[in-house]
Amino acid sequence: ETIDAAGLHVIPGAIDVHVHFREPGFSHKETWTSATQAAAVGGVTTVFDMPNTNPPTASVAALDQKHAIAGAQAIVDYGLYGLIGEHNLDQLEAMAQAGAASFKLYMGSENPLVPCPPDGAIVEAFEILARLGLRCTVHAENTPLLAWRGDKLRAAGRTDAAAHLEQHIDLAAVEAVSRTAIFAEWTGAKVHIAHESTRHSLPHIRFAKDRGVDLTVETCPHYLFLSTDEGARLGDNFMRVKPPVREPGHAGPLWDALLDGTIDIISTDHAPHLRSEKTRDVIWDCAPGFPGVETSMVLMLAEVSRGRLTLGQYVRMACEAPAKAFGLFPTKGVLAVGADADIVLLDMTKTGRISAAGLHSIGNATPFEGFPLHGLPVRTLVRGRTVALEGRPVGTPGWGRPVTVAC
Ligand code: DOR
Ligand code: ZN
Ligand code: ZN
């Protein structure tokens, strides 16, 4: 294949360490085919898939099942998360041997399929992962406190108070981030904070890093580009996500933290739901989350075009930092001798707009409808093969392969 890249920019493929690709269990929202097509078109060449599927990825058998599904359909490379519960601590090592690329711990969960282990079990899990050398991603939000209080307030019809709780008491996130860092310091575990949404966590992240904790942190485009002020225009239901998009005043400090390295990584928390699941009358009945793999790079490139960050800074947070944090360095996420040819060609002169109808995810309802774009990926290669061209997926299902993690 001869590729003419005259006038284009060449960057490494983005590595999205936080996606929910839904299979097995929720194929009506997304399949590995639709999701990896969306990723390829969006310039994402490697994804790490979350374990809140059905069955949850909490055993070797469940991991094998997901590997088979992903292996048959994927057109980009992938790592699979194992789920940590109090019930499967004795299986984490076997799951790591069976190819779990990382593990996910939920400090809060309203999903009955997803356990929320007590502190003792968290510490034990961290000890095991410290021994195995694998990083543990933590959903350090929506703690049981919030769920318990929120349910009670909603049951009493106090929806305003419940909304206030979910939206403004982000100190529950600060508590969970700090607790994660303390447990990591005790055990020597490498930990990763998922979807950082609030400026209040930032001093606590800096404190932990200054103390030498091996802590990495991600944020997502919705926390950088949206605030509750935009809810009326973009649709509160479409914006609904956990953790929630915060009130104005958080995005600026999160941008600063991303640029100064306090926040290491940009991921997406790609979490598609059907439009019908996002358009119910009562916002609490609307499923939280929306697709992200196809819209993240283009949103960030528009900011590159506006001069908010350099392309080099974007590559650091989208490619290099995730590769280093999750043990993919030096094979992925950097343009270096010996690295996989996971490559994206950009045309920084191209403009456009985000349109849900044009997205490849099945659950395509996005709060970013109409966002103006300047700079688009025009070709995506995974291990040297073109998997997306000019906005169209062209890869062969099954080309995607599981990543190898070097701890
Ligand atoms: O908004 C969210 N959606 N947050 C999560 O943590 C889970 C995700 C999903 O799986 O739908
Ligand atoms: Zn989460
Ligand atoms: Zn998530």
- Residue 242 CB less than 6 A away from ligand 1: yes
Tokens representing residue 65 in the block: 């099942």
Q: What are phi and psi of 14, to 5 degrees?
A: -70, 145
Please tell me the predicted confidence (pLDDT) of residue 282. 84
For a mutational test of ligand 1's pocket, the pick from 30, 48, 52, i.e. the residue with the most ligand atoms closer than 8 A to its C-beta, is 52
- Residue 20 CB less than 6 A away from ligand 1: yes
360-370, pLDDT tens digit by residue?
999 999 999 99
Question: Taking CA 246 as the corner, what is the angle to CA 212 and CA 206, rounded to the nearest 5 degrees?
Answer: 10
What is the Cα gyration radius of the chain? Answer: 20
Q: What's the full length of the chain, in residues?
A: 407
Tokens representing residue 260 in the block: 């100064």
Please tell me the predicted confidence (pLDDT) of residue 143. 63
302-344, pLDDT tens digit by residue?
999 999 999 999 999 999 999 999 999 888 988 787 889 999 9
Neighbours of 297 (CB within 10 A): 31
The pLDDT of residue 294 is above 80 = yes
Please tell me the predicted confidence (pLDDT) of residue 283. 82
Residues 7-31 as b/e (b if ≥16 CB within 10 A, e otherwise) read ebbebbbbbbbbbbbbbbebeebbb
Please tell me the predicted confidence (pLDDT) of residue 40. 98
Q: How far is the CA of 362 from the centre of ligand 3 (A)?
A: 17
What is the mean pLDDT of the segment spanning 223-236? 93
How far, in Å, CA of 229 to CA of 245, rounded?
A: 10
Please tell me the predicted confidence (pLDDT) of residue 48. 98
Largest separation between any pair of C-alpha atoms in the chain: 65
For a mutational test of ligand 1's pocket, the pick from 241, 362, 366, i.e. the residue with the most ligand atoms closer than 8 A to its C-beta, is 241
Residues 255-265 as b/e (b if ≥16 CB within 10 A, e otherwise) read bebbeeebbbb
With a CB cutoff of 8 Å and minimum separation 6, the contacts of 254 are 196, 197, 199, 202, 219, 223, 224, 263
Q: What are phi and psi of 63, to 5 degrees?
A: -65, -45
- Residue 241 CB less than 6 A away from ligand 1: yes
Question: Taking CA 224 as the corner, what is the angle to CA 218 and CA 230, rounded to the nearest 5 degrees?
Answer: 140
pTM of the model: 0.96
Please tell me the predicted confidence (pLDDT) of residue 154. 82
Q: Which atom of ligand 1 is nearest the CA belonging to 52?
A: 10
What is the mean pLDDT of the segment spanning 153-158? 86
Please tell me the predicted confidence (pLDDT) of residue 168. 58
Among the residue ranges 52-56, 164-168, 233-237, the one predicted with the least confidence is 164-168
Among the residue ranges 97-111, 121-135, 257-271, the one predicted with the least confidence is 97-111
Please tell me the predicted confidence (pLDDT) of residue 51. 98
What is the mean pLDDT of the segment spanning 169-178? 84
- Residue 271 CB less than 6 A away from ligand 1: yes
Render 36-47 in DSSP notation, one character per residue: HHHHHHTTEEEE
Neighbours of 107 (CB within 10 A): 23
Q: Which atom of ligand 1 is nearest the CA belonging to 194?
A: 6
Give the closest residue to 223 by CA, choosing from 277, 273, 170, 268: 268
Q: How far is the CA of 338 from the centre of ligand 3 (A)?
A: 32
Please tell me the predicted confidence (pLDDT) of residue 352. 98
Q: Which atom of ligand 1 is nearest the CA belonging to 287?
A: 11
Render 140-191 in DSSP notation, one character per residue: --S-HHHHHHHHHHHHTT-HHHHHHHHHH-THHHHHHHHHHHHHHHHHT--E
The pLDDT of residue 275 is above 70 = yes
25-84, pLDDT tens digit by residue?
999 999 999 999 999 999 999 999 999 999 999 999 999 999 999 999 999 999 999 999
What is the mean pLDDT of the segment spanning 228-252? 92
Q: How far is CA 109 from CA 113, 148, 167, 297, in A?
A: 9, 11, 16, 29
Ligand nearest to the backbone CA of 137: 2
Average pLDDT, the chain: 94
- Residue 267 CB less than 6 A away from ligand 1: no
What is the mean pLDDT of the segment spanning 253-275? 98
Band (pLDDT 50/70/90 cuts) for residue 152 is confident
For a mutational test of ligand 1's pocket, the pick from 54, 242, 273, 284, i.e. the residue with the most ligand atoms closer than 8 A to its C-beta, is 242
Q: Which residue's CA is the closest to the ligand 1 atom numbered 4?
A: 242
